[in-house]
Amino acid sequence: MFSAFRTLMGRDLLLAMRRRSDLFTTLFFFVIVVSLFPLGIGPEMNTLRLIAPGVFWVAALLASMLALERLFAVDYEDGALEQMLLAPQPLFVLVLAKVTAHWLVTGLPLVLMAPLLGLQYDLSSEALGVMVLSLLLGTPALSLIGAIGAALTLGLRGGGVLVSLLVLPLYIPVLIFGSGAVEATASGLGGQGHISMLGAILVLSLLLAPLAASAALRISVE
């Protein structure tokens, strides 16, 4: 089971490395969205510091959602997905492997880029640390929840817009606790409560989302 997980993850990572442009589009999207807000709102640092947590988290939400469409689509088109459904290994392990690889390619770069962008918003080093931590816990949950939506909309016309309608409402708790953690830290209240809630959400979605996503895949492919 573990070897199946590793093999599939390695394969997905290798495929991603062969097409590096895909890897960078999500990251650039995140960078551009975050950088656009000061242009729209004005360079007043006090305001920017105030809205930074929300801006970063909404940008992360949108970026991870944009990447979702490709999660299963390529395997679906070339038939590899059907082989996975027939494989003797439990499907949720394979889904988990794919989601992990997907997060390493699209989620982790955002987490690493966030502190650099945070400087644009004049965030304190403490707040930056919490931002990285909250993104580290939150973006995997986003990928996991998003996998359900990606599986449900597999091969549908207008799948990209549809997946956002399905998935964004489900992202709300992650958004609230993620940006809340940064905000609470920045205002000196301490974000431990938020961070532990994010951790709980991550554990819960690790347990449930792969199961739901595998069920969705079976529905969509059958």
Partner 1 sequence: MPPVAKFNEVTGTKPYLYYQTPGTAGLHYPMNSRLINWFKFSSPATFYPLAGRLVPIFAVLALALIGVGLYMSFFVAPTDYKQGEGYRIIFVHVPAAWMSMFIYLIMAFWAALGLVFNTRLSGMMTRALAPTGAIFAFLALWTGAFWGKPMWGTWWVWDARLTSELILLFLYLGYLALQGAIDDTRRADRAGALLVLVGVVNIPIIYYSVQWWNTLHQGATISMDNGSKMGVTMLWTMLIMALGFWAYTIAVALARVRSIILEREADTTWVSELAEVRL
- Residue whose entry in the numeric block shows the structure tokens 């403490």: 126
CA distance 113 to 144: 21
Verify binding: residue 210, partner 1, rule CB under 8 A.
Answer: no
Verify binding: residue 208, partner 1, rule CB under 8 A.
Answer: yes
Verify binding: residue 132, partner 1, rule CB under 8 A.
Answer: no
**Tokens linked to 42:** 């004005």
Site for partner 1 (CB under 8 A): which residue of 34, 71, 184, 195? 184
Please say which residue, 4 or 204, places its beta carbon nearer to partner 1: 204
- Among the candidate windows 14-22, 122-130, 132-140, 151-159, which touches partner 1 by CB under 8 A? 151-159
Secondary structure element (H or E) that encloses residue 177, with its range: helix 159-186
Half-sphere exposure of 119 (CA within 13 A, CB side): 3
Q: Count CB atoms within 10 A of the CB of residue 127.
A: 24
Please say which residue, 128 or 212, places its beta carbon nearer to partner 1: 212
Verify binding: residue 206, partner 1, rule CB under 8 A.
Answer: no
* Helices 45-68 and 70-78, axial angle in degrees (round to 10): 20
Write the DSSP symbol of residue 103: I
CA distance 188 to 82: 51
Least separation in angstroms between CB 95 and partner 1: 14
Verify binding: residue 165, partner 1, rule CB under 8 A.
Answer: yes
Q: For binding to partner 1 (CB under 8 A), which residues are involved?
A: 148, 152-153, 156-159, 162, 165-166, 168-170, 172-173, 176-177, 180, 184, 197, 201, 204, 208, 212, 215-216, 219-220, 222
